[in-house]
Structure 1
């Protein structure tokens, strides 16, 4: 299949829809989703959150063990404007003595989960593999969840955390655990404490809701002239435009929400999106919720790397956004579509052959974004 030709021809996007034969065989053989679906009941969220967190924490521990000490993990608790502290996981490579004081590029990843489940462990695998491959520093970032915290809290938590890296000093014992062996109070520049040099590379990205959060934040960073600037953007399986805000420009391209909305593979559906809308209570007219319609446009954004699920209800709006960047704004992009695979399949069906391929592609894409700055 000439994937690039299909990506470039919106009339062929639906060719990505039919379920992958290997996945069909797995489903026929009774293979179940590894992680429980979110469902449509707010009362069940606590149990679902706990199940996802434990499974992904186990995965993280296995990856760290396999790294044999080459990658270290530490918790961060990052203060945001209203006094809350956002949890994050910091990953760094083990340095040789002569490299100990060298600052490195930074990757920040934002997890998905429909704004109502999820934890930093969801992006730990991407962070650990990228740290190993690129010898960078990576942070997997949390945010407050709905329905306890409504729209736009998640966006503002992540924005405050990004700015925190570049702003006022902090007291290490109050914010970080596991980075230093002593407990003496010291005040130090945030980026220096993380041992990052944003001028070497500063990549922001996320999956699903994390990608949704990423897009308006990179536009906001561009609009205010955040410096050093974000130099690369990673996005997978993400929305950009809700049907209620549809414009004539995109109407003819925006088909997967309807054609795949009644999916039968236990993945994202129109019903689950309606549940997310109910618990998050977004402003459907806000550009935060519809970053494809960002009021100052999409010019002068950094390079983007896309991973898109072919049998995902969100497929077409991701392809529309990539097309808008590349053709209308001359933004450098790379895109990989996984034909016949449902939303966030790498979490749901980790034994599928494309799940390991997705992980390889993710590392390669983040490396491409980082190498473009060095």
Structure 2
């Protein structure tokens, strides 16, 4: 597979301090032309997937060039700490700490959150994203997050689904042995991350203060994903119950992670443009 074209993009590694006195690696991506002009761009903070046990910060590179060139976006991809060395809730805490630090130090990476402050991620990274956006609302983060991007998100454990949602949560039982993410894979990830299966820091769909103040949210959902229905339930809650703007792209017949692990598929190539359009939509929703 060809590496992403990063010509004209300045890539830099930074360290972000964490609450336990350590620091985590992050990669920043911004256009070289914006550096020359001194123009600050919207901020996009990204959390990679990988079941809380693997995945590089470089996973964001498929879209950073187009985002920088089309919207002037500065992408910061967070290399949060992973299991088994760092178990739950380290990934969630690292995500919260990273976004708080970037909110206070955005200019140092060439960003201006007043032009847009988007947080997003894939799979486990989308789980971290949802935790971060809820924590930010509760804490009154300033500047506020203006958009959330949830790509094939993990939002609730199958044993934690409330009774009122169970009739709408069928994907886990319907897709036990799909490629890329099966029940065995989920069990493996959980055995290493060691989450509290009742905690909202693992199940952001159960956030105690609710979801009414969440930012506009863009969803990408795979049809053969055992996690699929958690995303559909959350999208319904945001849009139908709280009037929060949402945008949804559904990849029918595609397993969890299929557009990332199988880039040669037509749907995977289409997903690159959909992501760019979805992020642009989130920017357009900024109040």
**How many residues in Structure 1 have an aligned counterpart in Structure 2?**
287
Q: Distance in 1 between matches of 2:74 and 2:10?
A: 10
Q: Which moved more, 1:79-88 or 1:354-363?
A: 79-88
CA contact (8 A) 2:34 2:72 kept: no
TM-score, normalising length: structure 1: 0.74
Match of 1:146 in 2: 83
Deviations 1:157-182 (A, max 9, x none): 11111111234xxxxxxxxxxxxxxx
> Which of 37, 60, 63 is residue 123 of structure 1 equivalent to?
60
> Which of 64, 67, 79 is residue 17 of structure 2 equivalent to?
79
**Aligned-pair distance for 1:114?**
0.1
Q: Distance in 1 between matches of 2:235 and 2:286?
A: 21
Residue aligned with 1:141, SS: strand
**Aligned-pair distance for 1:121?**
1.0
Q: Distance in 2 between matches of 1:129 and 1:141?
A: 19
Unaligned runs of 5+ in 2: none
Match of 2:45 in 1: 108
Unaligned runs of 5+ in 1: 1-54, 168-189
Match of 2:174 in 1: 259
Task: Note the aligned Cα RMSD (angstroms).
Answer: 1.5
The structure having more radius of gyration, on CA atoms, is 1
CA contact (8 A) 1:127 1:139 kept: no
Match of 1:41 in 2: none
Q: Distance in 2 between matches of 1:93 and 1:303?
A: 26
Match of 1:301 in 2: 214
Q: Distance in 2 between matches of 1:108 and 1:215?
A: 12
**Aligned-pair distance for 1:302?**
1.0
Deviations 1:62-96 (A, max 9, x none): 421xxx32x11111111212222211110001226
Match of 1:237 in 2: 152
CA contact (8 A) 1:117 1:145 kept: yes
Match of 2:163 in 1: 248
Q: Distance in 1 between matches of 2:144 and 2:238?
A: 18
The alpha-carbon distance between structure 1 residues 235 and 312, as it changes in their structure 2 partners (threshold 3 A), is: same
Q: Distance in 2 between matches of 1:146 and 1:358?
A: 29
Match of 1:357 in 2: 270
1:204 and 2:204 aligned: no
The alpha-carbon distance between structure 1 residues 140 and 270, as it changes in their structure 2 partners (threshold 3 A), is: same
Deviations 1:243-287 (A, max 9, x none): 221211111001010010122xx2101111011111011001101
5 Å matches for 1:189-200?
Answer: 190-200=105-115
CA contact (8 A) 1:109 1:127 kept: no
CA contact (8 A) 2:54 2:82 kept: yes
Match of 1:176 in 2: none
**Aligned-pair distance for 1:101?**
2.1
Deviations 1:153-205 (A, max 9, x none): 001111111111234xxxxxxxxxxxxxxxxxxxxxx2222121111110000
Residue aligned with 2:143, SS: coil
Q: Distance in 1 between matches of 2:167 and 2:285?
A: 34
Residue aligned with 1:73, SS: strand
1:373 and 2:286 aligned: yes
Q: Distance in 1 between matches of 2:257 and 2:159?
A: 24
5 Å matches for 1:5-154?
Answer: 59=3, 62-64=4-6, 68-69=7-8, 71-95=9-33, 100-154=37-91
Q: Distance in 1 between matches of 2:32 and 2:60?
A: 20
Q: Which moved more, 1:310-319 or 1:87-96?
A: 87-96
> Relative contact order (C-alpha < 8 Å, sep 6+): which is higher?
1
